[in-house]
Chains A and B, each alone.
Chain A
């Protein structure tokens, strides 16, 4: 029987749609397998998650650096042309405007990650995994953070103890 009550219920259903208000979404996202995201899935996390196979040393890295990096970042990571970042700098930060370079990073994985996604600036995402490990080794070695003969790979890179690691404090832990 069509009652006043059922009429109200019908009106509400028309007004707000069926189902729980707020729970319905268009559902137009297309499912994708993680394997099909591989070309974009390039980040490296501080614990080493995402590091690919491969390895490299500072000696190997020096040759790649002079060919692909030095024109912007300067020979041996110092004195780049105006407007470009040096890669070698102080490891003590006792002034608020101390120049921040690689020794500032909390984790060595950041260096690998930024080169993998962004460098070389004019043709990013073209360095091979071995080149990335070799360049990481070279730049860390220039900063005397690792030895000249240390091999960087998925196991050793996350274990590098960066000189500034223990100086960071979280601004507002309650916001995380």
Chain B
């Protein structure tokens, strides 16, 4: 009996500029490399690999394992970018390097952080959380007492509503996915549901809002509808399995899945049930945004459906024609991502991307799309849908409804407005260089 070599034809493009069927990703033996018709994979480099040898690290003992491990020294450039590197006496931001990460979990050291008055050095043994106001019995909790409560573990993103704000610019700002979209990260959070604690304090029926306040020097506070508090709000104590990072709310934060980052009050020390919104500084000014018709939106809490391509993106370059995997992140404050479409021709044609399981509500979903680049200019885009039926708006529609600046934004650290969730376009030129474009 002769064994016949199975040969499959390479997949045909399913959309313009070389997008391939997402099912080609599922390991069904489809040959990707090159536009071969011979069946044998054609290797683009042509030359054979070098003979293999033992490198020094294969010939001597390495270092002893440390108590708390950090990435390899070769990963030194995979870091957050900081808005206040000279430690000036003001706020500071650090952005997640999405274009250098994969999967869906943001490592704790790379989780984005915004601090309006520096990171407080909180002793967890002294920290207290009081719940009071329109309750039957005001109660005080400590880190230790909360550690005995029933906990839940849930994967959720947190996004500053100023994330992607440079994209309100009328001209595309030349900046990476880190600079444009780095104020959004995703972690596994563990803590006590706020509803569990409110069950103990009781809630007066006249309570419609609660204010949550931090132990930081600003005593930053935000108003939250009781409806959200009883839905899925959590007093989070752990982030990816370890205690919260100081920049993410140590020793406890309010987690409001899908709601704008600033409401997820860090270092939370007080929750007061009230009958009206407090109209705090942040909800009155920064996080109520101006609309083109001169009206302002109050209480735009939900981070709406959004996606962006991280690979390839600004800061990368393509080394030559051939196979690439396009991948990126999609998420929605409304729930699960239901579909992501990808275009390589600036939106003229689209193909459905594969979604990496598990697809969780209000959490990052990684999408992937096989692509055979022919070396010609291409414009890569992604567009997401969520289970509530919301769709990521096209840029023209977004700008019509929400406006754009009259002059180009020159500083990618600027926040011309809030809640940008339209499409990101990466323009690939014939040399493999990548720019941020509007298409």
Residues of A within 8 A of B (CB): 23, 25-34, 37, 40-43, 45-47, 83-84, 92-98, 100, 104-107, 109-110, 113-114, 117-118, 121-122, 124-125, 164, 167-172, 175-176
Residues of B within 8 A of A (CB): 88-90, 117, 130-132, 137-141, 145-146, 148-150, 168, 196-197, 199-201, 208, 211, 213, 217-221, 225, 227-228, 269-270, 272, 274, 276-281, 284-286, 288-292, 294-302, 402-406, 416-417
Question: How distant is A121 from chain B, measured CB to nearest CB, in Å?
Answer: 7
CA distance A96 to B272 in the complex (A): 33
**B130 engages A37 (CB within 8 Å):** yes
Question: How distant is B273 from chain A, measured CB to nearest CB, in Å?
Answer: 12
The 8 A-B residue pairs with the shortest CB-CB distance in the complex, in nearest-first order: A29-B139, A114-B281, A96-B403, A28-B145, A171-B300, A97-B416, A118-B218, A117-B219
Please, could you name 16 A-B residue pairs with CB atoms under 8 Å apart, sorted by A?
A30-B140, A30-B145, A37-B270, A41-B132, A41-B270, A95-B403, A96-B290, A104-B284, A106-B279, A109-B279, A121-B217, A170-B297, A171-B299, A171-B300, A175-B225, A175-B228
Question: How distant is B290 from chain A, measured CB to nearest CB, in Å?
Answer: 5
CA distance A40 to B209 in the complex (A): 18
Q: Given A37-B132, A43-B211, A118-B117, check contact A27 B200 (CB 8 Å).
A: yes
**A124 engages B218 (CB within 8 Å):** yes
**A110 engages B284 (CB within 8 Å):** yes
CA distance A147 to B137 in the complex (A): 44
B contact residues around A98 at 8 Å (CB): 290
Q: Given A106-B279, A175-B302, check contact A93 B294 (CB 8 Å).
A: yes
Name the residue in B201, B284, B402, B416 with the highest tally of chain A Cβ atoms < 10 Å from its Cβ: B284
**B149 engages A168 (CB within 8 Å):** no
CA distance A64 to B404 in the complex (A): 39
CA distance A128 to B200 in the complex (A): 36
**B132 engages A169 (CB within 8 Å):** no
Question: How distant is A127 from chain B, measured CB to nearest CB, in Å?
Answer: 13
**A42 engages B281 (CB within 8 Å):** no
**A96 engages B402 (CB within 8 Å):** yes
Q: Of A29, A96, A110, A172, which contacts B417 at CB under 8 A?
A: A96
Interface residues of A, dominant DSSP? loop
CA distance A118 to B280 in the complex (A): 11
CA distance A32 to B269 in the complex (A): 14
**B219 engages A46 (CB within 8 Å):** no
CA distance A171 to B131 in the complex (A): 28
B contact residues around A92 at 8 Å (CB): 294
A contact residues around B270 at 8 Å (CB): 37, 40-41
Q: Of A114, A171, A176, which contacts B227 at CB under 8 A?
A: A176
Q: Given A40-B213, A121-B89, A168-B295, check contact A96 B416 (CB 8 Å).
A: yes
**A107 engages B225 (CB within 8 Å):** no
Q: Of A31, A97, A100, A121, which contacts B137 at CB under 8 A?
A: A31
**A168 engages B168 (CB within 8 Å):** no
B contact residues around A47 at 8 Å (CB): 276
**B89 engages A122 (CB within 8 Å):** yes
CA distance A114 to B155 in the complex (A): 33
Q: Given A47-B276, A104-B285, A117-B221, check contact A96 B227 (CB 8 Å).
A: no
**B279 engages A110 (CB within 8 Å):** yes
The chain A residue with its CB closest to the CB of B84 is A83
Q: Of B149, B280, B404, which contacts A114 at CB under 8 A?
A: B280
A contact residues around B150 at 8 Å (CB): 25
A contact residues around B274 at 8 Å (CB): 45
Question: How distant is A175 from chain B, measured CB to nearest CB, in Å?
Answer: 6
Q: Given A29-B197, A32-B132, A32-B140, check contact A125 B301 (CB 8 Å).
A: no
The chain B residue with its CB closest to the CB of A114 is B281
Question: How distant is B180 from chain A, measured CB to nearest CB, in Å?
Answer: 17
Q: Of B199, B296, B402, which contacts A93 at CB under 8 A?
A: B296
The chain B residue with its CB closest to the CB of A124 is B217
B contact residues around A34 at 8 Å (CB): 132, 138
A contact residues around B279 at 8 Å (CB): 45-46, 105-107, 109-110
**A46 engages B276 (CB within 8 Å):** yes
**A169 engages B284 (CB within 8 Å):** no
CA distance A126 to B137 in the complex (A): 30
The chain B residue with its CB closest to the CB of A105 is B284
B contact residues around A97 at 8 Å (CB): 168, 290, 405-406, 416-417
**A96 engages B88 (CB within 8 Å):** no
CA distance A84 to B201 in the complex (A): 40
B contact residues around A23 at 8 Å (CB): 199
Q: Given A34-B138, A45-B274, A95-B406, check contact A169 B280 (CB 8 Å).
A: no
Q: Of A37, A96, A106, which contacts B404 at CB under 8 A?
A: A96
CA distance A114 to B193 in the complex (A): 29
Q: Of B149, B277, B297, which contacts A28 at CB under 8 A?
A: B149
**A110 engages B280 (CB within 8 Å):** yes
**B417 engages A40 (CB within 8 Å):** no
CA distance A109 to B283 in the complex (A): 13
Q: Of A37, A42, A95, A171, which contacts B298 at CB under 8 A?
A: A171
**B221 engages A43 (CB within 8 Å):** yes
B contact residues around A106 at 8 Å (CB): 279, 284, 298
